[in-house]
Amino acid sequence: MSLDNIHKLKLDLGDKAYDIIIGSGVLDHAGSYLKQLLKRPRTVIITDENVASVQLPRLEASLKVENIEFETLILPAGEPTKSFSQLEYLLGKLLEMRLERSDMIIAFGGGVIGDLAGFAASIYLRGIDFIQIPTTLLAQVDSSVGGKTGINSSWGKNLIGAFHQPRLVLCDVLCLETLEPRHVISGYAEAVKYAFINDREFFNDLDQNIGDLNHIDLKVRCAFRSKIILKSCAAKANIVSQDEKEKNLRALLNLGHTFGHALEAELGYSDRLYHGEAVALGTEIAFALSQHLGFSSEKDSLLVKAHHQKAGLRSANEFSFDAQKLIHHMQRDKKMSDGQITFVLSRGIGKAFLYSGVDMSDIETILNRFFKI
Ligand code: GLY
């Protein structure tokens, strides 16, 4: 592995600080990174069937080189795995393996595995360490960093969970090579989100170079993907280090999520709309609402939409939603406070802010206009 291609960032959280390592081929050195953190050479890999079939041999080989003993738990792939029943199964297996409090587990997969394994780590023996090796772009630019873990329930997505920081995050862009392009594009929505929040220059760069995301040349696409992971993780690390438990600033990272979660919930979290695709549409709605309330211009709303289209994200014209049903889902969101939803709105690209007190009639107007029902 050439060190030129490897970037290292620190998420500065005092005694919970950790490194985020980004580049091509990082996975093949996972064992040597992990060894420095282990008290005894033993670990458990938690992954899913899809990742196991294409990426697991590389991780296992890197552990064997370092003489680290391991067991592997392979769960079904997909959002339904983030459930009470899989959590119970996982905890049972860890107990059966007699994993000790000073041991560490590896969450090896996308956001579902990261959230579930991280939550299991947060409650197993009242909390053990874990590391994140995210294998999707969405997990590499967002969910593996910052310590949000949890599961879904019949009451909604991510309502049960804990803040539990990993000890290390390893992002290997070569893991993205086995993903279908739609998955990569969906994850990209969470990267450009950081530009929309507070980095206009990053947006200009992305808008000019978006063609490199799925470029035919491996070197070009890997370099572009490494760059956006690095920029996204640095932006996220900066925010999380100031507001780990989402008391205020961190809520900006939810740009597009209140609307996006409602769209996903209405479609039953199905493959009709991936999470990143929902966030992209949610971001467009947030800009439409900001424009309607007089905070941002039509030009900004059009730029956001045009950029999403260039990236290959979904368009609102493909869907039709009942505004009342979406509002109902939004009211079950955990971001409610005193019965009010806090929205992430915008004064223009790179100028997001938090705002409570939006009238539900304005939301209904915007949703009806957006989906042209
Ligand atoms: N995905 C938003 C956050 O981690 O705060």
Residue 5 confidence (pLDDT)? 80
Q: Which of 244, 246, 264, 277 is the catalytic position?
A: 246
Domain 181-370: CATH architecture, name and number where available = Up-down Bundle (1.20)
The pLDDT, as a whole number, for residue 157 is: 84
With 80 as the cut, is the pLDDT of residue 336 above it? Answer: no
Kindly report, as residue ranges, where domains of CATH 1.20.1090.10 are found in the chain: 181-370
The answer to whether 246 is a known catalytic residue is yes
Please name which of 294, 291, 292, 293 lies closest in space to residue 303, comparing C-alpha atoms: 291
| pLDDT for the residue 111 | 97
The single residue of 164, 275, 308, 335 carrying the catalytic annotation is: 275
Q: Clarify whether 190 is annotated catalytic.
A: yes
CA of 256 to the centre of ligand 1 (A): 12
pLDDT digits (tens, 9 = 90+) for 241-297: 999 999 999 999 999 999 999 999 999 888 999 999 999 999 999 999 999 999 999
- Ligand 1 centre and the CA of 144: distance in Å? 9
Rounded distance from Cα 61 to ligand 1 centre (Å): 32
| Average pLDDT for the chain | 95
CATH code for the structural domain at 4-178: 3.40.50.1970
CB of 82 within 6 A of ligand 1: the answer is no
Active-site residue identified among 50, 157, 158, 190: 190
- Ranges of CATH 3.40.50.1970 domains, the chain: 4-178
pLDDT at residue 321, as a whole number:
94
Q: Using most ligand atoms within 8 A of CB, pick from 148, 163, 197, 233 the residue to mutate for ligand 1.
A: 148
How far is the CA of 66 from the CAs of 19, 101, 166, 299, in angstroms?
20, 22, 21, 55
- Would you call 201 a catalytic residue per the annotation? no
Whose tokens are 């009639």? That residue is 361
The arithmetic mean of pLDDT across residues 161-174, rounded, is 98
DSSP for residue 82:
S
In the predicted model, is pLDDT for residue 166 greater than 60?
yes
Query: Is the per-residue pLDDT at 3 higher than 60?
Result: no
pLDDT of residue 251: 96
Starting at the edge strand found earlier in the chain, the sheet holding 168-172 runs 7-11, 18-23, 168-172, 129-134, 104-109, 42-48, 69-75
pLDDT tens-digit map of 8-34 = 999 999 999 999 999 999 999 999 999
Secondary structure element (H or E) that encloses residue 10, with its range: strand 7-11
**Residue 154 confidence (pLDDT):** 85
pLDDT at 81: 97
Structure confidence at residue 332 (pLDDT): 78
> pLDDT band for position 339 (50/70/90)?
confident
